[in-house]
Amino acid sequence: MFYTCGFCRSPPVMISGGRVFVVPCVQKIQWISLNTLTLNVKSDKVYTRHGVPISVTGIAQVKIQGQNKQMLAAACQMFMGKSDREIAQIALETLEGHQRAIIAHLTVEEIYKDRKKFSEQVFKVASSDLVNMGISVVSYTLKDVHDDQDYLHSLGKARTAQVQKDARIGEAMNKRDAVIREAHALQEKISAQYMNEIEMAKAQRDYELKKASYDVEVNTKKAESEMAYQLQVAKTKQCIEEERMQVQVVERSQQITLQEQEITRKEKDRWPRRPKLFSSTKRVPWWTCYWRNCRW
């Protein structure tokens, strides 16, 4: 970015990423870089809230804000004529101071366990301070935390031991749960098997009952059909017998009639006829006729 001042340039003109015409010996031009600067923010042996000295290293990305005219004017007033190294050093010292202040208000455990929260605090505090210089903090990340008293190592051992303990407890609980689940599964399997057998027995019982009921119904229908058949046979035999009796009666009647006719014929043949002595026109008393026809 160019910053021009001098004759006919009041107030000075700020041009970001462009060109400007300058009158030699009358006007002066100065420039300031708008590139992003990477800062390695180190804080060695800073005492935390519990008095444990630790060293913290963070990585920050900063740049002079060229889009905001107020921040650009503040940056020009603060850093005009300075090199990128000098600007970076000023921003680094500001960030390192805020980083130390935040470390002093936290414990080692809070910094070590919640790095994101620590980074957000440094980013927020440093941004509010550097914005007055026209510098914006693009990003800040906690890179490393270590100490010379093996506090973190001991903390790590304790954490490791706790993790191992939790792992052993978890493994034992998992085995216990596995045994319990296996026992439950076996119990459910046996219960399911018994229930299946009970259901099969019930189904068999229902089948037998229904089959017996059907058999009774079938046998009843069969017996009724057999009785109806026998009754019909008996009725048919009775009808046939009645017809036969009627035929016999008729035949007997005919035989009697024939016998009577035969007797009549024989009677007639027994008494021979006599010739008529008198004319048929003359009536003869019956005793005369009988007397005459008798055989002596």
**Per-residue pLDDT tens over the stretch 104-159:** 888 888 887 888 888 888 888 888 888 888 888 888 888 888 777 666 666 666 66
Query: Residue 162: how many CB atoms within 10 A of its CB?
Result: 10
- pLDDT band at residue 61 under the 50/70/90 scheme: confident
pLDDT of residue 6: 43
283 versus 234: the higher-pLDDT residue is 234
The DSSP annotation for the chain comes to -EEEEETTEEEEEEESSS-----TTTEEEEE-----EEEEEEEEEEE-TTS-EEEEEEEEEEEE-SS-HHHHHHHHHHHTT--HHHHHHHHHHHHHHHHHHHHHTS-HHHHHH-HHHHHHHHHHHHHHHHGGGTEEEEEEEEEEEE-SSSHHHHHHHHHHHHHHHHHHHHHHHHHHHHHHHHHHHHHHHHHHHHHHHHHHHHHHHHHHHHHHHHHHHHHHHHHHHHHHHHHHHHHHHHHHHHHHHHHHHHHHHHHHHHHHHHHHHHHHHHS------S-TTS---HHHHHHHH---
pLDDT of residue 3: 45
- Output the CA torsion 222→227→228→229 (10° steps): 90
**pLDDT over 50 at 296, yes or no:** no
- pLDDT band at residue 219 under the 50/70/90 scheme: confident
Average pLDDT, the chain: 78
4 versus 213: the higher-pLDDT residue is 213
pLDDT of residue 5: 46
Give the pLDDT mean for 78-105: 84
Q: Is the overall model pTM greater than 0.75, yes or no?
A: no
Give the pLDDT mean for 273-278: 50
pLDDT of residue 44: 85
